[in-house]
Amino acid sequence: MADIAKKPIKITETILRDAHQSLIATRMTTEEMLPIVEKMDKVGYHSVECWGGATFDASLRFLKEDPWERLRKFRDGFKNTKLQMLFRGQNILGYSQYADDVVEYFVQKSIANGIDIIRIFDCLNDIRNLQTAVTAANKEKGHAQVALSYTLGEAYTLDYWKDMAKKVEDMGANSLCIKDMAGLLLPYTATELVQALKETVDIPIQLHTHYTSGVASMTYLKAVEAGVDVIDTAMSPFALGTSQPATEVMVETFKGTPYDTGLDQKLLAEIADYFRPIRDHALETGLLNPKNLGVNIKTLLYQVPGGMLSNLTSQLKDLHAEDKYYEVLEEVPRVRKDLGECPLVTPSSQIVGTQAVMNVINGERYKMVPQQTKDVLSGHYGKTVKPFNPEVVKKCIGDEKVITCRPADLIPPQLDKLKEECAKWTQQEEDVLSYALFPQVATEFFKYREAQQTKVDETVADTKNGAYPV
């Protein structure tokens, strides 16, 4: 190994976003995260992923927090570290497609509030759904990283990935990420894939995977040896299971090799000590399901990403049908095949998962079909690699016309109308974007925010004259 040129592997830390999204349904609060930011800033990470994905929705919906405020606080705390977010292409952070003007404004505001690197992906790997966000990030002088949603299936050959990588480079992306959301990338396949992509493009390549199937650390090892530039890891208290391999373990693995990260284990141990009680509390309260911590080799059979597994568990729990778990898991790949063999990642994973649950619960396939399944089949999410199952199309949407253009081409500008609609709640320019993505949830949050701001402080209230300082 001595003759290999030094090439320290860079690390993106996911504990403030994907790790707690995958293990505890994105329930870590800003207040829980802020005290450790100063220490994390000293590590020397390539970047810290701390925003986007489901954090936005969860902040507003469950934590009654303003996600923009969280981002600004992170930006204040991380003085030396790049901040990274996950962005669902034309879906932004929501579940349907938005007009270009909303996408552009969201990118602009994300960068203005402190994001350095925007990782942009599309659930169908439809390049047309990525271009607006990439162009906007370039315009704002942000780093546009395009993530290809990695999946298996006869359409997903090495040539397919090379062709996609070339397109990503040509569209103006600053780097490429292999986004293995279900932990399907096996170690030796990673060697082959990384080498092929390295020969195809000149931009840096990052690898993101989940530990769900138990192979992720080995996959990282082979990918690093094959020349990958950055890997995503999570601090040990929130690592493994449906999350990422542990940061400290990967740092130790490459110590004394040409790939040595140079990160300080003592400092990492202090950060781990901080997060451990948060993890233990999540276990005690049932927020962290031990099921999500083990290795689930069924992932390789059913290709279900970690976040989707915990979603299915909770959907079935609500329906008092937890005994149907494995039946649903077996239905997932069948639904996926019907829907053009799409990768399973938000929102396609939720759509396929929900449809699989309905098919099993109703005892008849496609007896009940949610609007989102119909939207996929009518082309409103974009183009899939393989054609849809014609029988399923007939049963679900009949003779409805299927669109073949880029879906967002059919969406007129939305921003002015949205600004008008939420004008009465607006306290900052970013509020319109929260409203655009989650109108009902954001409105509830705005009402809550207003109530908090107008709470009466009884101690200083002048009850005699009825004057209440706000």
The residues, ordered by sequence, that sit 6+ positions from 410 with a Cβ below 8 Å of its Cβ are 403
Nearest Cα to 139, choosing from 175, 105, 93? 105
Angle at CA 431, nearest 5°, toward 429 and 436?
A: 115
Task: Kindly tell me if the per-residue pLDDT of 470 is higher than 60.
Answer: no
Mean pLDDT of 322-329: 92
- At residue 162, the 3 state secondary structure works out as helix
DSSP tag of 6: P
Task: Kindly tell me if the per-residue pLDDT of 425 is higher than 60.
Answer: yes
User: Per-residue confidence at 311, pLDDT binned at 50, 70, 90?
Assistant: confident
Token code pair at residue 352:
């396929």
The DSSP line for 308-367 is: HHHHHHHHHHHTT-GGGHHHHHHHHHHHHHHTTS----TTHHHHHHHHHHHHHHTSSTTS
Q: What is the Cα–Cα distance from 221 to 249, expressed in whole angstroms?
A: 11
22 vs 99 pLDDT, higher one: 99
Mean pLDDT of 390-407: 96
Radius of gyration (Cα) for the chain, nearest Å?
22
Instruction: Find out whether 261 and 8 touch, Cβ atoms under 8 Å.
Output: yes
Token code pair at residue 428:
């900052």
Which pLDDT score, from 0 to 100, does residue 303 have?
Answer: 75
Instruction: Find out whether 208 and 230 touch, Cβ atoms under 8 Å.
Output: no
Distances (CA, A) of 50 to 75, 181, 409: 10, 17, 31
Which pLDDT score, from 0 to 100, does residue 467 have?
Answer: 43
| pTM of the entire predicted model | 0.92
Task: Kindly tell me if the per-residue pLDDT of 74 is higher than 60.
Answer: yes
Angle at CA 123, nearest 5°, toward 399 and 46?
A: 170
User: Per-residue confidence at 292, pLDDT binned at 50, 70, 90?
Assistant: confident
Mean pLDDT of 162-190: 97
The DSSP line for 88-114 is: -GGGTTSSS---HHHHHHHHHHHHHTT
Task: Kindly tell me if the per-residue pLDDT of 31 is higher than 70.
Answer: yes
412 vs 5 pLDDT, higher one: 412
Mean pLDDT of 129-135: 98
Task: Kindly tell me if the per-residue pLDDT of 59 is higher than 80.
Answer: yes
DSSP tag of 16: T
Mean pLDDT of 294-314: 78
Query: What is the distance, to the nearest Å, from the Cα of residue 84 to the centroid of all Cα atoms in its chain?
Result: 11
Which pLDDT score, from 0 to 100, does residue 277 have?
Answer: 98
Among 79-93, 264-278, 290-304, 420-434, name the one with the lowest average pLDDT: 290-304
Mean pLDDT of 171-197: 97
Query: What is the distance, to the nearest Å, from the Cα of residue 239 to the centroid of all Cα atoms in its chain?
Result: 16
Backbone angles phi, psi at 279, to 5 degrees: -65, -45
pLDDT digits (tens, 9 = 90+) for 362-376: 999 999 999 999 999
Task: Kindly tell me if the per-residue pLDDT of 335 is higher than 80.
Answer: yes
Q: What is the Cα–Cα distance from 395 to 446, expressed in whole angstroms?
A: 41
Nearest Cα to 396, choosing from 415, 378, 383, 422? 378
Q: What is the Cα–Cα distance from 188 to 179, expressed in whole angstroms?
A: 17
Which pLDDT score, from 0 to 100, does residue 246 have?
Answer: 98
Which pLDDT score, from 0 to 100, does residue 458 have?
Answer: 59
User: Per-residue confidence at 466, pLDDT binned at 50, 70, 90?
Assistant: very low
Query: What is the distance, to the nearest Å, from the Cα of residue 334 to the centroid of all Cα atoms in its chain?
Result: 24
- At residue 268, the 3 state secondary structure works out as helix
Q: What is the Cα–Cα distance from 75 to 79, expressed in whole angstroms?
A: 7
Which pLDDT score, from 0 to 100, does residue 459 have?
Answer: 62
Instruction: Find out whether 5 and 258 touch, Cβ atoms under 8 Å.
Output: yes
Peptide bond into 347 cis (omega under 30): yes
Buried b (16+ CB within 10 A) or exposed e, 220-242: bbbbbbbebbbbbbbbbbbbbbb
Angle at CA 160, nearest 5°, toward 155 and 161?
A: 120
Q: What is the Cα–Cα distance from 330 to 301, expressed in whole angstroms?
A: 9
Nearest Cα to 277, choosing from 238, 320, 231, 223? 238
Q: Return mean pLDDT, the chain.
A: 94
Instruction: Find out whether 110 and 88 touch, Cβ atoms under 8 Å.
Output: no
% residues pLDDT > 70 (the chain): 96
pLDDT digits (tens, 9 = 90+) for 153-168: 999 999 999 999 999 9
| Neighbour count for residue 470 (Cβ, 10 Å) | 7
The residues, ordered by sequence, that sit 6+ positions from 277 with a Cβ below 8 Å of its Cβ are none
Angle at CA 376, nearest 5°, toward 371 and 382?
A: 140
% residues pLDDT > 90 (the chain): 85
